[in-house]
A and B are shown apart, each in its own frame.
Chain A
Amino acid sequence: MPRKPKNAGKPGGFVQTTVEIEGRTEMRIVEMPAFEPAAWGDDAELGIVGARVPRMDAPERVSGRARYTADITRPGMLHAVILRSIITRPTARGSLAARFSTRGSPLPPFARKLCAPRTMRHTRSRWSMTRSPLP
């Protein structure tokens, strides 16, 4: 027989209850909330709950004007894709015939850095990048 919890049944105190979990019944001691707002009455006038709330961007969505990420194109925007190596273990299944070089690439320096073998050596992958036409 467990001892009666401290401040049993009082706000801020504890109450003993039983809960059913997957067919088993367990005894639990739960804390009573120190402050519990009163429930609203049946005749309460509610401004938000149950009110009709039209979506702010619904006109954009039904007209095709809504801009999703895939719809955005910036001048000179870079497009990147990760190329995964088909050779998972060079020593076991293949040998290194050539090393990828970014020398002479028309890409800007930060993109060349991202494509560099050193950046990607841990993933055995590399970035491939192309550029949208500049205006």
Chain B
Amino acid sequence: MRLTVNGRVHDLDAAPGLTLLELLRDHLSLTGTKLVCDRGECGACTVQLDGEIVYSCLTLAAACEGANVLTVEGLTSGAADAALSPLQRAFIEKDAAQCGFCTPGQLIAAHTLLAHNPHPTDAEIRAGMSGNLCRCGTYPKILAAIRAVADGTAPEAGKQEAGGVRAA
């Protein structure tokens, strides 16, 4: 089967029972997308499939023939921190990733939400993000990060504070 992932075309053999998540993680080593509940409840495995979000743990790889997939790895244009997207920078700025395990799914859901609706209301953000759970409870910060991108107040590339504790 042929699958385009983050702009790269792959020719793959997918067993009939293989999920899209297993294909991404185990065959393509794209481990940014996470497995948590394995039954479409938590949203950690959220990826974009032909422009719409899907739970990749419930999506059979064989059903994605010819499809275009976007994962968290595809949001970044390179390995450097400067290559992070405005949404990713806003997640750092607003501290929307605590343990970070749900973050790849949250980012893809938010990215897709903003692609469909660049200026959502808070209620529309909450509705759009309702399929993604965060056990750390960073929901207000995730909302603030998406709000910042929608309002154009997300930090620009290269203006992010460097990580680490600075002593006085």
Contacts and interface: CB of A to CB of B under 8 A. Distances in A.
Interface of A: 45-48, 51-68, 70-71, 73
Given A66-B100, A67-B31, A71-B31, 10 more contacts: A59-B92, A62-B92, A62-B100, A62-B103, A62-B107, A63-B75, A63-B84, A64-B32, A64-B104, A68-B34
B162 interface: yes
11 contacts: A46-B168, A54-B160, A58-B91, A58-B163, A59-B88, A59-B92, A61-B100, A62-B72, A62-B103, A63-B84, A66-B100
A55 B163 contact: yes
B129 interface: no
Interface string B75-90: 1100101001000100
Overall SS of chain B's interface: loop
Given A55-B95, A58-B92, A68-B101, A63 B73 contact: yes
B25 to A, nearest CB: 8
A57 B165 CA distance: 12
Contact of A62 (B31, B88, B168): B88
B97 interface: yes
Contacts of A70: 31, 34-35
Contacts of A51: 166, 168
Contacts of B112: none
Would you call the interface of chain A mostly helix, strand, loop, or mixed? loop
Contacts of B25: 71
Interface of B: 25, 29-35, 71-73, 75-76, 79, 81, 84, 88, 91-92, 95, 97, 100-101, 103-104, 107, 160-168
B150 to A, nearest CB: 17
A60 B160 CA distance: 14
Contacts of B84: 59, 62-63
B100 A63 contact: no
Q: Which 4 A-B pairs have the closest CB atoms?
A: A47-B168, A64-B32, A61-B100, A64-B72
A66 B98 CA distance: 12
A43 B103 CA distance: 39
B76 A63 contact: yes
Given A54-B92, A59-B92, A71-B31, A64 B73 contact: yes
Contacts of B30: 64
A56 B29 CA distance: 24
Contact of B163 (A48, A57, A65): A57
A61 B168 contact: no
A65 B29 CA distance: 11
B99 to A, nearest CB: 8
